[in-house]
Structure 1
């Protein structure tokens, strides 16, 4: 809780409160909770810029100053990856998410590298063994890489492998895919796995009604949904492992988030890859904090 501090406007009373004045330590009773995945191992294995392990605590400091509108998520602390022990950290993170969902809590993960996605996806598959799970990733990268060891570029291929082994369908939609940020082998694998894609150029040029219809069509095929956002999808965000050459404007990402939540099927969400080491004037922190606040607001609408 040491990171939850900031400005206090005593003269403004109850309507002048900020997140740091309302946040509580998670005790299993709250409806929504943040949980950090303080991990750089996957990014390092993927040969990216490390520093995302400091992301969760830096984002807490940024979130502290947000004004309170409605409820504020509780804080469930961090799962910390020590050194290169990624596999153990992911397992502990999955178990923490399962514990939260069993207690009726909606988890909002804050990374950490995008290796968080494998742990989050596994948690949802395990929490709903008889349900059809849909994965929506807002990201220039497909993250379907084959590698000798898991990392930030492999999570959705790993989840696809798990589904194949267990006989479950693999439903994956990637929004904002960049043609120039994925190799041909990744696109070939996406085709083989029947991955749905909406390219960044499509999102930027087609009418929103077209995008909304494609999102709704995907959501209709799933019983429960996992939403994950790689913060390198945000246009102009410097504070990431692999900055996007094009990216998406923040308002468009927020619109997509609201459209996805309108399905009322989202049961877990996270934002990955925020790297404070490369932030400038806390620009990236503000962008990601706004996304987390948007997700929190949408969770409140869905489960109110």
Structure 2
């Protein structure tokens, strides 16, 4: 497990009732762990570096853990921690494969993996873990990939980066003969070139712009999401914190000028969570180097807490 000093916090022993905080219910993930959730840290920002972003997200997993540690448990009776996977000597692809192995292991033990990044290159590692676990059954399942992000991350490049994970997923699906179902919320028109919009349409990506969400009816978006969820058998949810306005998430690789409001992100995440179809999730781009008062890590911990709630 991660350094025990990270999992420390207040203990309200002088108060009646359930006063447990997450640092009091966390335990190491091991071969006998089952039927709960586990955190997996992806301490890597090599993909961000390759994508010419602001590095520092490799420190994100522990920053989020520190904020999680002191949150009230609120129904979370047990939480596992599988520690961190580090990217060594810039070998991103190897780190992604190690992450995939950890995600697969958790799923094989009926444990929900919540991966803490790290750059958004984390997404491809999480996806590979899901795909490896499902193996041939992925051909009969309809996996819906939901991404909260200001960017499509569909870049074409000879080298994997934080800008390529969903392009890599689309290629993996094409080669495996699996349908690529990709839904993206919070896309910034000014954060993506016309070529990326064209590529998204060619791949059949369903997306909502940050401006649409800002001025649209949230209930309508919720109903549309429920329709997408009804057509899916399994869901993989990934959150790039740069989907949020810069005042809510300053500590990211590419802060957003507009962004998608936190309450709307949380509302849609809850709908996805309540579907009972969520198989894995990750939170990316928490960059403590550029954070202010730990705000981005606090927001990430809040979203993580939502995802960790039992169904």
Structure-2 residue corresponding to 1:181? 191
- C-alpha separation between the residues in 2 aligned to 1:229 and 1:89? 19
TM-fit CA distance, 1:263: 2.1
Structure-1 residue corresponding to 2:284? 272
- C-alpha separation between the residues in 1 aligned to 2:176 and 2:25? 42
> Match for 1:87 among 88, 93, 116?
93
TM-fit CA distance, 1:13: 4.9
Deviates most, 17-26 or 171-180: 17-26
**Contact persistence 1:146–1:154 (CA under 8 A):** yes
Which runs of 4 or more aligned residues in structure 1 lie more than 6 Å from their structure 2 counterparts after TM superposition? Answer: none
SS in 2 for 1:110: strand
- C-alpha separation between the residues in 1 aligned to 2:266 and 2:244? 10
- C-alpha separation between the residues in 2 aligned to 1:229 and 1:73? 20
- Calculate the aligned-residue CA RMSD, in Å: 1.2
Q: Provide TM-score, normalisation by structure 2.
A: 0.93
Structure 2 runs not aligned, ≥5 long: none
- Cα gap change, 1:221 to 1:15, in 2 (>3 Å): same
Q: Provide TM-score, normalisation by structure 1.
A: 0.95
**Contact persistence 1:142–1:177 (CA under 8 A):** yes
Do structure 1's residue 98 and structure 2's residue 101 form an aligned pair? no
Deviates most, 33-42 or 125-134: 125-134
TM-fit CA distance, 1:234: 1.7
Map 1:108-257; keep pairs closer than 5 Å.
108-128=114-134, 129-130=136-137, 131-235=141-245, 236=247, 237-257=249-269
**Contact persistence 2:45–2:118 (CA under 8 A):** yes
- C-alpha separation between the residues in 1 aligned to 2:207 and 2:216? 14
- C-alpha separation between the residues in 2 aligned to 1:248 and 1:132? 27
Deviates most, 17-26 or 191-200: 17-26
Structure 1 runs not aligned, ≥5 long: none
Deviates most, 200-209 or 45-54: 200-209
**Contact persistence 1:33–1:107 (CA under 8 A):** yes
